[in-house]
Chains A and B, each alone.
Chain A
Amino acid sequence: MSNVADSDRVADLARVVVADHDPRSVPVTEFLGACYDAGLSWVHFPEGLGGLGLSRGNQAVADRILQGAGGPVPLGLNPMGYGMAAPTIREHALSDEVKKAWLRPLATTEDIWCQLFSEPGAGSDLAGLATSAVRDGDDWVINGQKVWTSLAHRARWGLLLARTNPDVPKHKGLTYFVVDMHSPGVETRPLRQLTGQAEFNEVYFTDARIPDAHRLGEVGNGWGVAMTTLMNERSALGGSGSRRGAGTISEAVSLWAARPERQTPVLRDRLTQLWLRSEAQRLTSERSRVSATVGGPGPEGSIGKLVGAELNQQIYQFCMDLLGPEGILYHGYSKPEGDREDSDWRGPIQQRHLRSRANTIEGGTSDVMRNILGERVLGLPGDLRADAGMPWKEIPRG
């Protein structure tokens, strides 16, 4: 439960930041740097690392003031940085020196972060990944291929999960690293998706080197560290705006109001059901935020990820059905090269509809989310695993 004195202190600090660094006039990096220095980036982090050592619930107090004054939503500018890298670094980086070196430029968004987990041969079964890390003096030498990597082309740093021991069962042979995306042997190529765009990338590692000081957590404990990242990813993906009617549903409601000639009772009830589910999820996020005031994100975050992904698809499908013949018109499939930095990924509504197919795949498929809810929240037994206890190198792959 958040203490009134703490929230007053956070509010005071936020007001000072806003007064001294008006977000409407100073550069974003300066404003976010001031937030970091005041401990308002993540109030539950330790002092000196962008936090104040307070409970997480106070973050909302800070964000209301900072964003209310016109400040940016940092999660939108550096999603993997704020959503996943920061909590993982805070918990698992080996020294305060590297924590400090990484966290401030992350917070200011001068350094964009990406996540190097999925591979062509390891999606839902992430622990089966094959990219190898071999120790060589004070360095690790990396070889392999990652895929589905958002923002790799703009990222300075990547969160990398690699196999350091192929002779033990898959979960036990992984180690977690931070890789400099500008270092030799790291090659990023755009991966064109069904939308025609390339917001994701493939990343190839050919004898790339990482100093051991940039390892997160112990050798062989990469899976445990990755869980921190994934829990935060899912809770970041699931956490939606807290204003009623905001988010994707607002697009459908505006479209509804803008197309009175297309309105039918059947579509009206469909939209009402989608609105209600969006509202129920919004209230559930609020409720879990209150109960997560102490402690980190738990498996409840998976509810938001699951529901949000399916709702996005259903809402855009509704929009297409409301538009009818208009909805099949398309602006064309632009070439991925060249326009990635500037173009709005979300694009027109037809494109957002196509893009929404990824929602139930990225960050954990909905099928895996339901397993997680069933097993970690409801305590149901796991499914039979054909590779249980088997050394990774003996597991059939294909």
Chain B
Amino acid sequence: MAEKLADQPDKVAKTADVAETLANEPRAEFMFTDEQQQLLSAVRRFAAENVDETTVRRLMESDPPFDPKAWHRLGSELGVLGLSVSEADGGVGGTLVDQAVAVEELGAALACGPIFGTVYLAIPALVAASAGPARDELLAELVEGRRTAAFAVPDRAGAVDASLIEVTATPSGDDWTLTGTVRGVVDAGAADDLLVAAIGPDGVSLFAVDAAGAGVERTTQLTVDQTRPQAVVTLSAAPARLLAGSDEAERVIGHAFQVASALLAVEQVGAAQHMLDVAVQYAKERLQFGRPIGSFQAVKHRLADMMVDLEHARSTAYHAVWALTDGSDDPALAASIAQATCSAAFSRIAADAIQTLGGIGFTWEHQAHLYFKRAIVDAALLGSAEDHRSRVAELVLDTASAEKPPRVADGTRG
């Protein structure tokens, strides 16, 4: 089945046609196709067979902290690393909705691998960049899963801010060299390629740097989540190839941040769903006072509230994905709505799952802490819920008009 999917680009292309037809209909949003249901099953099966909890625990303490062979299979066999990349660029020619469906399942399984750096950021950036030898070659390698990448570009809560860039680019003949430092680069430690934003003579440009090449130093930084490592990247006249010049780099980077915000939100939904499932299952089975703890309203109502938050998160995450797919909404606002909602929801659901599990949920042996830690890190990446709330406030409240100001003061009778 998995092989079938990858081998049937025409079928996926048909999906894209249907999506396009439906895009004219307001109801197309949230309407999943049969092909997407098949994709979901295929990824779920792959995860069940290859990404069990024991594997996750082994890989998160390995170097590199993922299985390169399994990653390659995700790209080549399953074809889920570049689902929204056009066929001409070596992808499957689907939509970002397809990519989201796969991401949700990989998030639920807490799959180890450079999905944040490669799938959420690097591939969307390359897709948005103008074609050229460096970009085309790298994109094909990343989509196939033969190489992995990290996105060494600082963000201000998931948005471009050139003032944060501490790397300079110097032309040398037809090529460039980069010098400077980028902190907190997720997936950089094991990456083959680094996509680096640097300030050149004409402003911000985006470059590709061979991570194993000269002048590149990577210092791994431990984070609370062992499945999602990061590194400090120090470049000293490191040779670089231009991917996006100053005419388009900020647009390319901004697009990548928006896609990543939406896909990260979808990952949070997948992981939160898994935590809710674990907590609900436990509440049905765990007996205290001679009855399942899920029959107590204190426990039941907390689980119901978790479900409401999860459903809200799912709606906002997929809305952001659709907004980026068919332009039905301002992608910056949709991405911030999703990030504000999903970061809060996953954090709350992971914490409340531990509360539902009680003592066993606080042990190293139980899987809950792995998700709780992923929730902490995911909430901090690409801007916190609070950062995104601020942005929503700027976009919505600060522009609100009092066209129909409610006439309030009353009590004049007294």
> Which residue of A284, A300, A326, A381 contacts B312 across the interface (Cβ within 8 Å)?
A284
> Which residue of B301, B315, B340, B393 contacts A370 across the interface (Cβ within 8 Å)?
B301
Collect the chain B residues with CB atoms within 8 Å of residue A379's CB. 280, 284
Cβ contact within 8 Å between A287 and B30: yes
Report B370-406 CB contacts with A as 1/0, cut-off 8 Å.
Answer: 0000000000000000100110110011001111111
Cβ contact within 8 Å between B411 and A329: yes
B255 at the interface (CB under 8 A from A): no
Report A348-380 CB contacts with B as 1/0, cut-off 8 Å.
Answer: 111000000000000000010111011101111
Stretch with Cβ within 8 A of B (4 or more), from A128-136, A183-191, A264-272:
A264-272
Task: Determine chain B's interface SS by DSSP, over half rule.
Answer: helix
Task: Provide the bound-state CA to CA distance between A369 and B300, in Å.
Answer: 11
**CB nearest neighbor in B for A269:** B389
Task: Provide the bound-state CA to CA distance between A257 and B405, in Å.
Answer: 8
Cβ contact within 8 Å between A381 and B284: yes
B248 at the interface (CB under 8 A from A): no
Collect the chain A residues with CB atoms within 8 Å of residue B396's CB. 245, 253, 272, 275
Collect the chain B residues with CB atoms within 8 Å of residue A268's CB. 393, 397
Cβ contact within 8 Å between A382 and B295: yes
> Which residue of A273, A331, A332, A373 contacts B304 across the interface (Cβ within 8 Å)?
A373
A67 at the interface (CB under 8 A from B): no
> Which residue of A287, A291, A378, A384 contacts B307 across the interface (Cβ within 8 Å)?
A378
CB distance from B300 to the nearest CB of A (A): 4
Task: Provide the bound-state CA to CA distance between A7 and B177, in Å.
Answer: 59
Collect the chain B residues with CB atoms within 8 Å of residue A271's CB. 393, 397
A339 at the interface (CB under 8 A from B): no
Given contacts A255-B406, A330-B411, contact A280 B397 (CB under 8 A): no
B10 at the interface (CB under 8 A from A): no
Cβ contact within 8 Å between A371 and B295: no
CB distance from A368 to the nearest CB of B (A): 10
Cβ contact within 8 Å between B397 and A275: yes
> Which residue of B294, B337, B408 contacts A374 across the interface (Cβ within 8 Å)?
B294
A206 at the interface (CB under 8 A from B): no
Cβ contact within 8 Å between A381 and B295: yes
Task: Provide the bound-state CA to CA distance between A20 and B347, in Å.
Answer: 55
A286 at the interface (CB under 8 A from B): yes
Report B285-328 CB contacts with A as 1/0, cut-off 8 Å.
Answer: 00000011011110011011101100111111011000000000
Task: Provide the bound-state CA to CA distance between A186 and B408, in Å.
Answer: 40
Task: Provide the bound-state CA to CA distance between A367 and B302, in Å.
Answer: 11
Collect the chain A residues with CB atoms within 8 Å of residue B401's CB. 257
CB distance from B316 to the nearest CB of A (A): 5
Collect the chain A residues with CB atoms within 8 Å of residue B303's CB. 374, 378, 380
CB distance from A159 to the nearest CB of B (A): 28
Cβ contact within 8 Å between A323 and B408: yes
Collect the chain B residues with CB atoms within 8 Å of residue A103's CB. none
Cβ contact within 8 Å between A383 and B413: no
Task: Provide the bound-state CA to CA distance between A326 and B316, in Å.
Answer: 36
Cβ contact within 8 Å between B406 and A307: no
B155 at the interface (CB under 8 A from A): no
CB distance from A115 to the nearest CB of B (A): 25
A254 at the interface (CB under 8 A from B): yes
A32 at the interface (CB under 8 A from B): no
Collect the chain A residues with CB atoms within 8 Å of residue B386's CB. 269
Cβ contact within 8 Å between A374 and B392: no
Cβ contact within 8 Å between B408 and A384: no
B29 at the interface (CB under 8 A from A): yes
Cβ contact within 8 Å between B397 and A331: no
Q: Residues of B with Cβ closer than 8 Å to A?
A: 25-27, 29-31, 280, 283-284, 291-292, 294-297, 300-301, 303-305, 307-308, 311-316, 318-319, 337, 340-341, 386, 389-390, 392-393, 396-397, 400-406, 408-413
- List 26 contacting pairs A-B, 8 Å CB cutoff, sorted by A: A60-B26, A254-B402, A254-B405, A257-B400, A268-B393, A271-B393, A271-B397, A275-B392, A275-B397, A276-B337, A279-B337, A284-B311, A284-B314, A290-B29, A306-B304, A323-B408, A329-B408, A331-B411, A332-B413, A349-B408, A367-B297, A371-B304, A379-B280, A381-B292, A383-B296, A384-B291
Q: Which 4 A-B pairs have the closest CB atoms?
A: A329-B411, A280-B312, A258-B405, A374-B300
